Amino acid sequence: MRAHVRVLVPLLAVLALLAFAATSLLNRAARSWFERDVATRARLAVSGAREALASRLATEDRGRLGPLLDAIVRDEHILGAAACGPGGATLAQTRGLPASFACDAVLHRDGRHRRDFDFSDVVGERAVRVSVVPVRNEDEQAGSVVLVHDMSYAARREASMRRLTLAVFGIVAVLAAFLTVLSQRVSWRWWTHELRRVLILSTGARASRSSRGPFQPLLADVRRMASELVAEESRASGGPWSAARLQRMLQRSFVGEGVVVVANREPYLHQRRPDGGVEVMRPSSGLVTALEPVMRACSGTWIAHGSGSADRDTVDRNDHVTVPPGEDSYTLRRVWLSEDEERGYYYGLANEGLWPLCHAAHARPTFRASDWREYRRVNERFADAVCQEVSGPDPIVLVQDYHFALVPALIRARLPRANVITFWHIPWPTAEQLGTCPFAKELLTGLLGSSVLGFHTQLHCNNFLESVDRFLEARIDREGQAVVVGGRESLVRSYPISIDWPNRAAESAPPVEECRRSVLAELGLRPDALLGVGVDRLDYTKGIEERLLAVERLLERSPRLRGRFTFVQLAAPSRSLIERYRQLDQGVEALVARINGRFASGAWRPIALLRGNHAPEAVFRFLRAADVCYVSSLHDGMNLVAKEFVAARDDERGVLVLSRFTGAARELTEALIVNPYDLEEASAALATAVTMPAQEQEERMRAMRGHVAEFNVYRWAGRMLADAARVRQRGRLSDRLSMGPRSVESVEEVHG
């Protein structure tokens, strides 16, 4: 719309100027026609009676001049006439001729005109024009006749000519505006279509091309412009997002209110060692990776299931322990679950029901009534824990993930003014898929207790809104991205999650060369080995089997890589009580054995499977050592390993091969984007990656690092908090309006 206005306003201004110029040109032309018309009419009017006029003027026969003048003014365009003697005296005049047009007022004694005549004289309301026609008798000047012409017809003609001109220009203006809007629309469509084609070409074709596509420079420009815009916006609103900026915004928007996180997974587990000692572990979890730096910045309390074998031994009598060990930035509150609760709520409903329901990865969800009972019970226990931990009526509660869909509404029932921000870390299924879950309505209602409900992508938001539309009586405000139930609003927005930047793990890691040397030595590889890496929980959604098959295909199609290329898979066992996960574990083991058996030569094996939950420093050592990182998820909300690889590469080297089914693929467009099911495409991308020229690696990596630096996890948290503050503000205003002016004072008191 604004673009149209920008084009139309100058266009219409130019047309108005043209209309003005055309009218005054036409006016001038018309005046000269009227001038000639008047002169001709005067000559004709006098010429018929010229002889009689000449003799009567010569003899100053006043009595007989009158009828001659009366005959002249019979012309409907001549209002009056006067006959003037050679000395300029009036000898006769028609009746009613104003004194200002008498001979002595018009002529000097010597017959010269006293003034110029134009169209500005008036008689009554009529415009008039005076003309003087000399009358000769033989060779002598006998006198002259003054004629007063009625010019009102000229004024009428001029006015209608002006109207006609303006009408013509008006029509031209409307047509031009219409054509401009139309052509803009058409060219915008064409442009966006072309751009989309270019982007698809540039990303989709990358996997199979070793060189940069013809549109790569344009794509890079578009991205650079987008980054500059974001950088400009962030400068205008307080600089890049950082821990310090997040703290500032929290203090400004939520004065004195503590942050409480509710998540199943705890950020630090205490484990009993075989020798009886206790060690602290960090779990392999994207949620923990993202949220831990946020909690370091905001402090407060993280409520989680205490699942470490020495967890109970390390808490105080309120089940609290301060973390991170040695830094004590925030409090960890542990909730203890019975075996039945853990089996039903965590393994059952959450991981055999909701996890496969939300991921399109060919695993059937299982919904058991007994699991649902435990899920509800555990959600209530966590909501109770929140109420125990908060200190005021409107705390900030960050509810995390599919384990706690019911918690937002449970908190809302107990603390109506709480700021409940819920983030769903995995995809949201289509309404159709959600319909297979017998508890769909309850899950949706529970989540709509949130002030703000976040997903990684707009697609997941749209799926959620469609689900609400299908299963609940609620008003959906698609433009405002909100759902209103019972007069209360929940924002439903996309907040792509990320990692901390500057990244702690990357900053504390040894230099890239050192990482590379130590990793190659540890794996017994030669110094010029090519190294691929994958880092995952052993989960069927991560596409680990497809990844290994792509490595096998790579070695089939590029025999020269045999003996030189090794793929290291770090794999943390996960949810091992679930049958599907045990199958996967065995499947991966068998696949590694088969591929290694097929290609092994001497001490070289193409695949190194390093099982275990590795410390973040170890993960980063591998990420820094690798030539290529392959993230092959079959479906993934975001995937933070992709972003960690980017953070790890401060040397701007290394190539990311990334599944198009991850949320990350929408942001890291300089990765080689692939369909992990397509082994030809994926293996071609791996081949491209290991032969990619250093300069291209640097360009791609630099662009991705710029993006992750800007869109870091502090921005993720900051945007959700800012939206929650807005929801709260709107709620307060509508409270005031609905309570009327007399109640405003008491509202002020309550909100302090």
Which parts of this chain interact with ligand ADQ (CB under 6 A)? 284-287, 289-290, 425-426, 497, 535-537, 570-572, 613-614, 619, 636-641, 644
Distance CA 641, CA 472 (A): 36
Quote the tokens at residue 262.
């509710």
Reading across the β-sheet that carries 126-137, which strands appear in turn?
90-93, 78-84, 140-150, 126-137, 121-123
Q: How far is the CB of 550 from ligand ADQ (least distance, A)?
A: 18
| Helix and strand numbers, DSSP H then E, in the chain | 25, 23
The residue among 545, 593, 553 whose CA lies nearest residue 571 is 545
What are the backbone angles phi and psi of residue 601, rounded to the nearest 5°? Answer: -150, 125
Residue 86 or 283: the one with the smaller Cβ distance to ligand ADQ is 283
Residue 173 or 640: the one with the smaller Cβ distance to ligand ADQ is 640
Enter the DSSP assignment of 662. Answer: B
Q: How far is the CB of 311 from ligand ADQ (least distance, A)?
A: 19
Q: How far is the CB of 637 from ligand ADQ (least distance, A)?
A: 3
Residue 142 or 497: the one with the smaller Cβ distance to ligand ADQ is 497
Quote the tokens at residue 426.
């995995």
Pairing of strands 419-423, 396-400: parallel
Enter the DSSP assignment of 561. Answer: G
Q: How far is the CB of 351 from ligand ADQ (least distance, A)?
A: 12
The residue among 338, 334, 307 whose CA lies nearest residue 323 is 334
Distance CA 366, CA 356 (A): 8
- The DSSP string of 394-447 is S-EEEEESGGGTTHHHHHHHH-TT-EEEEE--S----HHHHTT-TTHHHHHHHH
E strands, 467-523, are 475-477, 482-485, 488-494
Residue nearest to ligand ADQ (CB): 286
Q: How far is the CB of 399 from ligand ADQ (least distance, A)?
A: 13
What are the backbone angles phi and psi of residue 327, rounded to the nearest 5°? Answer: -110, -30
Q: How far is the CB of 305 from ligand ADQ (least distance, A)?
A: 15
Distance CA 206, CA 347 (A): 40
| Residue 740, amino acid | G
Looking at the DSSP bridge assignments, the partners of residue 629 are: 533, 656
Residue with tokens 């009218």: 23
Q: How far is the CB of 673 from ligand ADQ (least distance, A)?
A: 16
Q: How far is the CB of 425 from ligand ADQ (least distance, A)?
A: 4
Q: What is the 3-state secondary structure (H, E, C) of 15-52?
A: HHHHHHHHHHHHHHHHHHHHHHHHHHHHHHHHHCCHHH
**How would you class 167 by CB atoms within 10 Å of its CB: exposed for 0-12, middle for 13-18, buried for 19 or more?**
exposed
Distance CA 84, CA 104 (A): 8
Residue 376 or 542: the one with the smaller Cβ distance to ligand ADQ is 542
Residue 482 or 638: the one with the smaller Cβ distance to ligand ADQ is 638
Residue 289 or 659: the one with the smaller Cβ distance to ligand ADQ is 289
Long-range residue pairs from 743-751, CB within 8 A, at least 24 positions apart, any chain: none
Residue 553 or 614: the one with the smaller Cβ distance to ligand ADQ is 614
Residue 111 or 324: the one with the smaller Cβ distance to ligand ADQ is 324
Residue 34 or 464: the one with the smaller Cβ distance to ligand ADQ is 464
Q: How far is the CB of 620 from ligand ADQ (least distance, A)?
A: 8
Q: How far is the CB of 304 from ligand ADQ (least distance, A)?
A: 14
Residue 449 or 637: the one with the smaller Cβ distance to ligand ADQ is 637
CB 497 within 8 Å of CB 713: yes
Residue 330 or 455: the one with the smaller Cβ distance to ligand ADQ is 455
Q: How far is the CB of 664 from ligand ADQ (least distance, A)?
A: 7
Quote the tokens at residue 69.
């003048």
CB 278 within 8 Å of CB 272: yes
Quote the tokens at residue 620.
């980063």
Residue 216 or 639: the one with the smaller Cβ distance to ligand ADQ is 639
Q: Is the peptide bond before 324 cis (omega within 30 degrees of 0)?
A: yes
Residue 158 or 644: the one with the smaller Cβ distance to ligand ADQ is 644
Q: How far is the CB of 574 from ligand ADQ (least distance, A)?
A: 8
Q: How far is the CB of 525 from ligand ADQ (least distance, A)?
A: 20
Quote the tokens at residue 277.
């000692």
Q: How far is the CB of 324 from ligand ADQ (least distance, A)?
A: 16
CB 141 within 8 Å of CB 86: yes
Residue 253 or 284: the one with the smaller Cβ distance to ligand ADQ is 284
